[in-house]
Copies of this chain bind each other. A is one copy, B any other.
Amino acid sequence: MPERPSAGRADLEEAILRAAEAEFAEKGFEGATTAAIAARAGLPKANLHYYVATKEALYRRVVEGVLAAWLDAARGFDAAPTAVEALTRYIEGKMDLARDRPLGSRIFAREVMSGAPVIRDFLDTTLSAWVRERGAIVEGWVADGQLRPLDPKVLFYMIWAATQHYADFAHQITALNGGVPLDDAGFAAAKRQVVATLLGGVLAPRPDDMAAIPA
């Protein structure tokens, strides 16, 4: 087994995956070229092909990583006693994910807009089950008076939309921020406002709950 000094096999595959993620996020599956991915990873095109069979297989691997990160962030919803805590944790987790891994979100968005050719199965099975189960929990919160009457799915859509917007539309946000990307303080403020607005919009209007919303 050859032991290269700078790049072992694992490091190379990691570099390829990161390069592919960036290219797919920016250009889309059709727009991305294997040559550009290889160049970004720092190796010739033919060498990239030694590690991944086809462009589609590479894309599929990248997407799998995206879905794994999504599911991981979605666990922030569970194991919280109250609606306020669960929603706050979940929204903040998704905001952080949008901030830290925006590329994955863009790949996901492109996938869905193209009719979800690769992740259709994920939508029909894993995500459907997730929404069904957590939807039941949300309905429980409505029943016991924590939340105003609402359709859980519409709430989830709002959370996903509001949070992923900071990944998918980061360029637009930058443009409307005077051309400079949101700094950490600006993003933290946005996160607070997103949480406050969503919670304020769905929590049953009881004074003690209103007080629990961060300013």
What B residues does A201 contact at CB under 8 A?
196-202
Given A30-B28, A176-B131, A193-B151: A112 and B169 within 8 A (CB)?
A: yes
| Chain A contact residues, majority secondary structure | helix
Beta-carbon contact of A28 and B28 below 8 Å: yes
Which residues of B lie under 8 Å from residue A165 when comparing CB positions? 157-158, 160-161
Confirm or deny: A67 has a beta carbon within 8 angstroms of a beta carbon on chain B. no
B112 in contact with A109 (CB, 8 Å): no
- Number of chain copies forming the complex: 2
A113 within 8 A of B: yes
A173 at the interface (CB under 8 A from B): yes
What residues of B have a CB within 8 angstroms of the CB of A166 in the complex?
A: 157
* Contact call B123/A197, Cβ cutoff below 8 A: no
A197 to B194, CA, bound (A): 12
Which residues of chain B come closer than 8 Å to A123, judged between CB atoms?
171-172, 175-176
The reply to whether A27 and B30 contact each other, CB–CB distance below 8 Å, is yes
A interface residue numbers (CB < 8 A to B): 25-31, 106, 109-110, 112-116, 120, 123-124, 127-128, 131, 148-151, 153-155, 157-158, 160-162, 164-166, 168-169, 171-173, 175-177, 179, 189-190, 193-194, 196-202, 205, 210, 215
